[in-house]
Amino acid sequence: KQEVTQIPAALSVPEGENLVLNCSFTDSAIYNLQWFRQDPGKGLTSLLLIQSSQREQTSGRLNASLDKSSGRSTLYIAASQPGDSATYLCAVRLGSSGDKLTFGTGTRLAVRP
Amino acid sequence: EPEVTQTPSHQVTQMGQEVILRCVPISNHLYFYWYRQILGQKVEFLVSFYNNEISEKSEIFDDQFSVERPDGSNFTLKIRSTKLEDSAMYFCASRQTGVNEKLFFGSGTQLSVL
């Protein structure tokens, strides 16, 4: 059974810092991995999707990497802003489990002005 | 930008009552999903739906749950006899064809069973 773990559970940084969020998964036979942002009481917004054949994806200040063999992904946020404050979730789609996503527990990020 | 729309945003019901949660997926999407998130816990998969039938369901999705696409735009989740433990945020999601297409989520329906 696929398990997805995210560390740290919470993170507080001053504005302008670069930061890294970590995601690990136990079954490396994945189709893809997505990073989502969740604001309090709101839905999930897909930030980046990395296919199993890719090593990284970039969108603006966000960069996500994938190391399938070690079962790890990182989300790098450059020059953090207070508007980046949210919970960040990673989710994997296993090749053998249909097309459902298995989510991690999330990292709650607070960026202090 | 197109979005997935869910109604209502909040639903309060008594235990044992039936509820229907409604969703309008993005219009050119063909794959539809329901997920839920109990307060403080992970987002969990419930069911996926394609070509007018369930393609996969989790062990949570028992006989009390059903899904339907009654017309070309709506996608509903029905819980026949709600239990206290059904209290959660329910998210609808949709995506286009293709194994590496992003999933788009609605803003959720907060279901409270009293």
**Interface A-B: count of C-beta contacts within 8 A:** 59
Residues of B numbered 58-87 whose beta carbons fall under 8 angstroms of chain A's beta carbons: which are they?
A: 58
pLDDT band at B110 (very low <50, low <70, confident <90, very high): very high
C-alpha span between A10 and A106 (Å, rounded): 8
DSSP run (H or E) holding B112: strand B109-113
For residue A20, what pLDDT is reported?
96
What confidence tens digit (pLDDT) does each residue in B7-17 have?
999 999 999 99
Res A96: pLDDT: 60
Does the distance separating the beta carbons of A43 and B105 come in below 8 Å? yes
Chain A CB contacts of B48 under 8 Å are: 98-100
Contacts B104 to A, Cβ<8 Å: 46
Helix, strand, or coil (residue B27): coil
Provide DSSP, A11-26.
EEEETT--EEEEEEES
Task: Name the DSSP letter for residue A84.
Answer: G
pLDDT in tens, B35-63: 999 998 999 999 999 988 999 999 999 99
Rounded to whole angstroms, what are the CA distances from A3 to A80, A101, B42, B52, B82? 29, 11, 11, 30, 29
Which of A42, A97, A100 shows the shortest C-beta gap to B107?
A: A42
Which candidate, B56, B96, B42, places its Cα nearest to that of A97? B56
**Per-residue pLDDT in tens (0 to 9) along chain A, 113 residues:** 788 999 999 999 999 999 999 999 998 888 899 999 999 877 899 999 999 999 999 999 999 999 999 999 999 999 999 999 999 999 999 876 578 899 999 999 999 99
The residue of chain A with its CA nearest to that of B107 is A43
Q: Which chain B residue's Cα is nearest to A101?
A: B45
Residues in chain A, overall count = 113
* B70 pLDDT above the threshold of 90: no
CA B62 vs. chain centroid, Å, equals 14
Query: Cα-atom radius of gyration of chain B, to the nearest Å?
Result: 13
Q: Which two tokens stand for residue A75?
A: 């989300």
